[in-house]
Structure 1
Amino acid sequence: MIISLLASSLAIMGLIAPAATAETMRERQWYLDRMQAESMWKVSTGKGITVAVLDSGVDTSAPELKGKVLEGKNLVEPSKDARTDPDGHGTAISMLIAGNGAGGQGIKGLAPDARILPLTVFGSTKESGTNSIPGLINAIRYAADSDAQIINMSLAFPYYQVNKTELGKLQKAVDYAVSRGKLLLAGSGNDGETSNDITYPAANKGVAGVSAVDSSLTATKFSNHGSFVALAAPGKDIPIRCIGKAGYCRSWGTSQATAIASGAAALIWAKHPKWNGNQVLRVMMETAGKPTEGKIPSRYIGYGTIRPRYNVLENKGSPGSADTNPLVPAQAGGPSSPSSSQSRSASASPQSGSSESEASEGGDDGASPLLWIVGAVVVVGGGLFLFLRRRRAS
């Protein structure tokens, strides 16, 4: 997928399809109703929580983000403002986390009263995603020293793009952020049907790798899977502001799943402001809709699909120790680069989560997304995710 800013990551195909029946934005955001968002918002809206969005910047002119975006920093081109987003990816992700709904016409975030700290990790002239790794490392450290509680990384680097030195520095930055009480979430990647590479930072110890599920809680085919997946969240048929076009798009990707997981964490954390990232993560793992078959954690959905209402509305889940990250024992082996054979997970049918009524809190399976523009539907190829590679774009 290709557009001007991130040449190896995003693209749009303009294939026009027949007009679709008009839907309200709320109907398009199916996962909010499935997750009982309205009921949760009576208890928690994410107020007091800041989410650092490590991405392409955030466009503060978006109506959904008015008054929500802090100054932030561009970690790749310091002379440029992180509150601009020539690509649009970081803006779309931020809306899913904290959008205000723009009077019912725009995207409503799962944590509508959370704030966004934009940290730009992609240079406007960079053609290779590999060049963004130093920016990512610096951004994690910047976020660790900031007031942000949650670090959202809707991006992924295949293992072969991260050299040993960079990987060591990346792990040290993650360790530092965890020691500062932060919660780090990263997308697992959208390459599950082809190479299914291990990706970083999702595979770094202490980071919660997020895959995408469909509305039946079945793991999507496009999500990268493996031992680095900790949680799953809705990841298809997710409306976002279109990139490069007017209107709103129906999209898919683990970028979206990661943003929704960050919003869920913000709701829990706002209800329990004295907790730290380790405790919020532990509760998310305990209350997740578990796989209906196979081992836990699952290679496809980790400890399960996020269900924040179990804590927000029912006070389920034990925070446990603030000093222990619940993922570190499960992510044994450290940050060493895997071999090619290690990067290919064994093929099996995608797993499902809980079959309870909560099972509708899901994503999808990788079909082409749809674009809403004035009564017409435009097919968009790929999915919205910064899966950075030159030879095989997502």
Structure 2
Amino acid sequence: MIPRRPETVTRRRVGAPVLARLLAGAALVALSAPFTVTAPVTAAPAIRCTTPSQQLLPEVPWTHRRLAPQRVWPLTRGDGVLVAVVDTGVDGAVPQLAGRVRRGVDVLTRGAFADDDCYGHGTFVAGIIAAQPAPGTGMVGLAPGARILPVRQAYGPTDGTTSGLARAIRAAVDGGASVINVSASSFFPSDELRQAVEYAAEQDVLVVAAVANEAQQGNPTAYPAAYPEVLAVGAIGPDGRRSEFSEVGSYLDLVAPGVDVVSLSRGGIGHLVDSGTSYATPFVAATAALVRSYHPNLTAAQVKRRLERTADHPGGKLPDPQVGWGVVNPYQAVTAILAEEHTRLAAPAGQPPIPPVAPPGGGPDHRSSAIEFSVTAAVLAGLVALLAYLIPLGTRRDWRSVGDSGDAPARDGRAG
């Protein structure tokens, strides 16, 4: 059995001292996994490094069976896209990430890099995005062609601040990322954090952020996920339902697998399993990387809208406060033709074209664009109505083909 990350063994509730700080408006940031914040710190804390795993998962994880990224890999694997992981750092020496991780930036320590990770949270997140295929395991990143820019904004699960998170987002933009994964949350709005998100949007960078895991502890609004420019992500389980811990609200955009997720351990060759919106978020960030690689002319706002429009929509009014626009769909996100983008998106030079055939599965894809279906139905209905009108009229007027008697068909104002 693949070991779980230690913090998911017991889900702790927010204690009275922490609640007092929250009510006082303390600028706390917690990693969006099923545990809660404690007091912020002003210096590097004495974080105990997590124990590396040496155990590989041989089979394909349920998350990949659900999202089926292999369908889109013949078109794009995310090549040419730099994804920033704003987190606890990323262990660039892990075999399945070797050569894919830049030195990065540590916003907590001036001049330091972020390509190591004592706690392991950032490495787990990065593996979901860009882990390389390896012998003996079915675990691979959703966008294995992408590269990772680690930006450290915390050393462990509870020491982040909104100011550090804001600096990290700006550092990710300045570092050249076109997609930023933020698997951390603050429960209070901040001008500094909002301005950092606006800076990313102005530079055409898409921020993808977790909605946090406090649905059963009051469901407080999570930032930066709640800012309108951000693609906010919640979690579902293997049954397709919203995870009980995943927060809800009008700002929720998409959901992705976030229960029993398998990814990489720091400091070893093995894997771990964990749950949280922290781990749903990189599935969406990786899908954004696939889209930005295949459709490089789309803006960040268009990529956000494309992921929403092409999701596996729930029944009822959209967006749904429980699951947003639905479950992210990597294949549809890359291949769908959206009328609102005003033009058919051709494949970039050197890329295979979007296939005009139905995807694997033995039948048409029932999740095709609703707009395309509506337009086709309207055209067919118009043709049927026209024929219903013209055929009886032509019969009454004894229409004949030109050449039968040397004369053209009879016409008048109604038939013309």
Shorter-chain TM-score above 0.5? yes
Who wins on radius of gyration, i.e. which is larger? 2
Alignment CA distance shift 1:45-1:318 (3 Å): farther
Match of 1:150 among 179, 193, 199: 179
- Of the structure 1 ranges 202-211 and 104-113, higher mean CA displacement relative to structure 2 is found in 104-113
Q: Does 1:206 align with 2:229?
A: yes
Q: Distance in 1 between matches of 2:340 and 2:124?
A: 31
Match of 1:111 among 143, 162, 174: 143
Q: Does 1:54 align with 2:89?
A: no
Match of 2:244 among 199, 207, 221: 221
Alignment CA distance shift 1:79-1:146 (3 Å): closer
Q: Which residue of 2 aligns with 1:231?
A: 254
- Following superposition, the deviation at residue 275 of structure 1 comes to 1.6
- Following superposition, the deviation at residue 243 of structure 1 comes to 6.8
Q: Distance in 1 between matches of 2:36 and 2:325?
A: 31
Alignment CA distance shift 1:237-1:357 (3 Å): farther
- Following superposition, the deviation at residue 158 of structure 1 comes to 1.9
Match of 2:302 among 273, 279, 288: 279
Unpaired runs of 5+ residues, structure 1, are: 15-21, 322-355, 359-394
What's the secondary structure of 1:174's corresponding residue?
Answer: helix
Match of 1:25 among 58, 83, 95: 58
What's the secondary structure of 1:236's corresponding residue?
Answer: coil
TM-score normalised according to structure 1 size? 0.70
Q: Which residue of 1 aligns with 2:320?
A: 298
Unpaired runs of 5+ residues, structure 2, are: 1-5, 9-29, 39-46, 343-364, 368-416
TM-score normalised according to structure 2 size? 0.66
Alignment CA distance shift 1:110-1:318 (3 Å): farther
Whether contact under 8 Å (1:282, 1:320) holds in the other structure is: no
CA-atom RMSD in angstroms: 3.1
What's the secondary structure of 2:135's corresponding residue?
Answer: helix
What's the secondary structure of 1:258's corresponding residue?
Answer: helix
- Following superposition, the deviation at residue 49 of structure 1 comes to 0.6
Q: Distance in 1 between matches of 2:207 and 2:178?
A: 9
Q: Which residue of 2 aligns with 1:98?
A: 130
Q: Distance in 2 between matches of 1:153 and 1:318?
A: 30
- Of the structure 1 ranges 138-147 and 112-121, higher mean CA displacement relative to structure 2 is found in 138-147
Whether contact under 8 Å (2:208, 2:233) holds in the other structure is: yes
In structure 2, give the amino acid aligned to 1:153: V
Q: Which residue of 1 aligns with 2:272?
A: 249
For these two proteins, the number of residue pairs brought into alignment is: 303
1:255-314 Cα deviation digits (max 9, x unpaired): 110011111111111111122211111110110111223x311111111111121133x4
What's the secondary structure of 1:240's corresponding residue?
Answer: strand
Alignment CA distance shift 1:127-1:149 (3 Å): closer
Whether contact under 8 Å (2:311, 2:333) holds in the other structure is: no
Q: Which residue of 1 aligns with 2:104?
A: 72
Structure whose residues are more often strand by fraction: 1
In structure 2, give the amino acid aligned to 1:315: A
1:166-221 Cα deviation digits (max 9, x unpaired): x1111111111001111111101111122211111111221111001123431111
Whether contact under 8 Å (1:185, 1:262) holds in the other structure is: yes
In structure 2, give the amino acid aligned to 1:225: V
More contact order relative to length (CA 8 Å, sep ≥ 6): 1
Alignment CA distance shift 1:123-1:191 (3 Å): same
1:68-118 Cα deviation digits (max 9, x unpaired): 011210011124321111110000100000000333437310000100000
Alignment CA distance shift 1:308-1:63 (3 Å): same
Whether contact under 8 Å (1:98, 1:111) holds in the other structure is: yes
- Of the structure 1 ranges 31-40 and 237-246, higher mean CA displacement relative to structure 2 is found in 237-246
Match of 1:87 among 113, 119, 122: 119
Q: Distance in 1 between matches of 2:209 and 2:309?
A: 19
Q: Distance in 2 between matches of 1:116 and 1:74?
A: 14
